[in-house]
Structure 1
């Protein structure tokens, strides 16, 4: 855990130096370090052994397993296997994720520091990218597609969704984001959406069964958990936004961030009883919370006092994620942190059968 704390401290120092001097080099240093931390990890992330096994070809009926992967994900796995450099898959996926997140925050965040800390600290973002790799690549492409949502360039937006779909099929749910941008919800609508999330599990199940039957097994199998603790945190944040934060109706970007937050919260809350399916579906909307949170801070009158509290909150979330990982009965997804070129692969038995 000490290595993670040191990593966070260095990132925070880069961000604070940027905040004081507004020199972009510190922001670039920050994301360069995050990329290296992600790209050269070994056996970090809950699904790392699964991907490593696919690349190495250790599993029985490996062709059948690979054929179930999306085209670009499968191509990257096969290419990494064919050249004998298994780490290449993790390097390329890390680059896509970190670079597109960096570009999106750089172009659209009103506070680089807070957006970056939210990305690193909240477990559904950076830590999640170390595990659900294919989906997070798709998610980062969707996040970047805000550029075309905002500029109303439908063809380029759909192209982004198509590329994201070739990494993970779940990206198809993000196609509605283009039209969410122009929806004008009032506070009462947000309240209805928020409350409905607690009582709509069966309704959402029926809609998925009717409109997206391909994804029904994810609900029926009740795979994983719904992230109850972090969901509760976001529900509390949702309450705070409903009752204590002004809604800038004429700011299209801010309105879009709010729309996606409450829609994502509705999906997550509704499908939480079905395991992590709801959480994964909600990610394509919740990712814009990275841009929403700084906007909320700006609207608070005592933001100079609030900012240090936000920094502390983010650090607490970061440590909380590490602690929850240690409590996982199957595998700590984060600790110990290992570097691939300093690790003896012969001792890595979790991918062997």
Structure 2
């Protein structure tokens, strides 16, 4: 636990130094994410799926060829390359760089409150912590999130090219194709938002059927061939956040703020997917993450919308801290393995040092 406390304190201090530019010539915002990258890249047996990837790269997993063939092309090549060069950690270093760098670039360019966006990314369990486990999909999510610049610039071909690239890491990235058409084409109608919010609680069977028919990748979750926790506690928080955002939506009507409308619609569409498919375990969270990730930019954008932003900001910081430590506590109670603790680095570690994963 101590290493995570130090980790969070150092992030806070670097963000503080970056905000006030205390040391000239040093970009502490960049250093913050470089530190996060190092923390992720050198980890050993941190993240629930770490063991599976480790054995896959080492080649000592059952049905190796079948396991490799079900992985998207670039993820498979990265696994094979890590095996061929005899450096298992290479997979985790490259994936960490891709995820952290692309989130940093997008947050730095578009967030109206860099520090708050960073804390949301680090502390909310569905973002940074999730990236330590669902590695292949998070590489795809990071690419889509980075593609927001092409959505804003209305460059459909570069965006679609990035989505295609993302599918080479995880096939589910095709779900992000419709995101392009949300920006600038929809005004946040309060009735539509309310409909999306309520629909999520009553559309499980319908959406589950559609996903099972349309996506072979997600059918394995819907049909129960892959099980896992759906993140019920954090889902309840996002549902509560969606509920309390409704009065803001009802009081603010701004057709010209395309970013505000885009972030809100992405949030509620992602929440719809997550809520609808939550009974299928991981399917809801994984499907909704391509949309929910824009929450990182949505909450800071309220700075331009509400007079009580300072109160909202401080409240979100407190919630971030609560979720950070609650996630560590829940992980420590996992019936199979603790995905987060103890934090270890890969130096001088061997396969026998891995915790059992089943």
Contact 1:105 1:115 in 2 (8 A): yes
* 1:289-348 Cα distance to aligned partner (Å, 9 max, x none): 101010124433133344333322211111111111111111111000000014354433
Tell me by how many angstroms 1:214 deviates.
4.9
Hey, what's the Cα distance between the residues in 1 that align with 2:170 and 2:217?
13
Determine helix, strand or coil for the equivalent of 2:177.
Answer: helix
CA 1:197–1:69 in structure 2 vs 1: closer, same or farther (change >3 Å)? same
Kindly indicate whether residue 77 of structure 2 is the aligned counterpart of residue 71 of structure 1: no
Of 207-216 and 49-58, deviating more is 207-216
Structure 1 stretches lacking a partner, 5+ long: none
Query: Which residues in structure 2 correspond to 1:39-54 (within 5 Å)?
Result: 39-54=41-56
CA 1:32–1:197 in structure 2 vs 1: closer, same or farther (change >3 Å)? same
Contact 2:172 2:217 in 1 (8 A): no
Return the match for 1:62 from 43, 61, 64.
64
CA 1:343–1:247 in structure 2 vs 1: closer, same or farther (change >3 Å)? farther
Of 32-41 and 64-73, deviating more is 64-73
Query: Which residues in structure 2 correspond to 1:91-102 (within 5 Å)?
Result: 91-102=93-104
1:4 corresponds in structure 2 to 4
Of 34-43 and 216-225, deviating more is 216-225
Query: Which residues in structure 2 correspond to 1:198-213 (within 5 Å)?
Result: 198-213=201-216
2:182 corresponds in structure 1 to 180
Query: Which residues in structure 2 correspond to 1:79-90 (within 5 Å)?
Result: 79-90=81-92
Hey, what's the Cα distance between the residues in 1 that align with 2:151 and 2:349?
43
Determine helix, strand or coil for the equivalent of 1:42.
Answer: coil
1:151 corresponds in structure 2 to 153
Determine helix, strand or coil for the equivalent of 1:41.
Answer: coil
Return the match for 1:244 from 245, 248, 251.
248
Determine helix, strand or coil for the equivalent of 2:178.
Answer: helix
Return the match for 2:302 from 292, 296, 303.
296
Of 55-64 and 86-95, deviating more is 55-64
CA 1:177–1:36 in structure 2 vs 1: closer, same or farther (change >3 Å)? same
TM-score under structure 1 length normalisation: 0.95
Hey, what's the Cα distance between the residues in 2 that align with 1:252 and 1:135?
27
Determine helix, strand or coil for the equivalent of 1:340.
Answer: coil
1:197 corresponds in structure 2 to 200
CA 1:117–1:163 in structure 2 vs 1: closer, same or farther (change >3 Å)? same
Query: Which residues in structure 2 correspond to 1:180-329 (within 5 Å)?
Result: 180-181=182-183, 182-221=185-224, 223-245=227-249, 246-329=252-335
Hey, what's the Cα distance between the residues in 2 that align with 1:214 and 1:48?
21
Contact 1:297 1:306 in 2 (8 A): no
CA 1:213–1:90 in structure 2 vs 1: closer, same or farther (change >3 Å)? closer
CA 1:20–1:247 in structure 2 vs 1: closer, same or farther (change >3 Å)? farther
Hey, what's the Cα distance between the residues in 2 that align with 1:281 and 1:20?
38
Return the match for 2:125 from 123, 126, 133.
123
Tell me by how many angstroms 1:72 deviates.
0.3
Contact 2:112 2:300 in 1 (8 A): yes
CA 1:178–1:124 in structure 2 vs 1: closer, same or farther (change >3 Å)? same
Contact 2:212 2:222 in 1 (8 A): no
Determine helix, strand or coil for the equivalent of 2:277.
Answer: helix
Question: How many residues are aligned here?
Answer: 352
Hey, what's the Cα distance between the residues in 1 that align with 2:70 and 2:316?
42
Contact 2:227 2:282 in 1 (8 A): yes
Determine helix, strand or coil for the equivalent of 2:188.
Answer: coil
Return the match for 1:350 from 335, 346, 356.
356
Contact 2:42 2:89 in 1 (8 A): yes
Hey, what's the Cα distance between the residues in 1 that align with 2:340 and 2:61?
24
Indicate the RMSD between aligned Cα atoms, in angstroms: 1.8
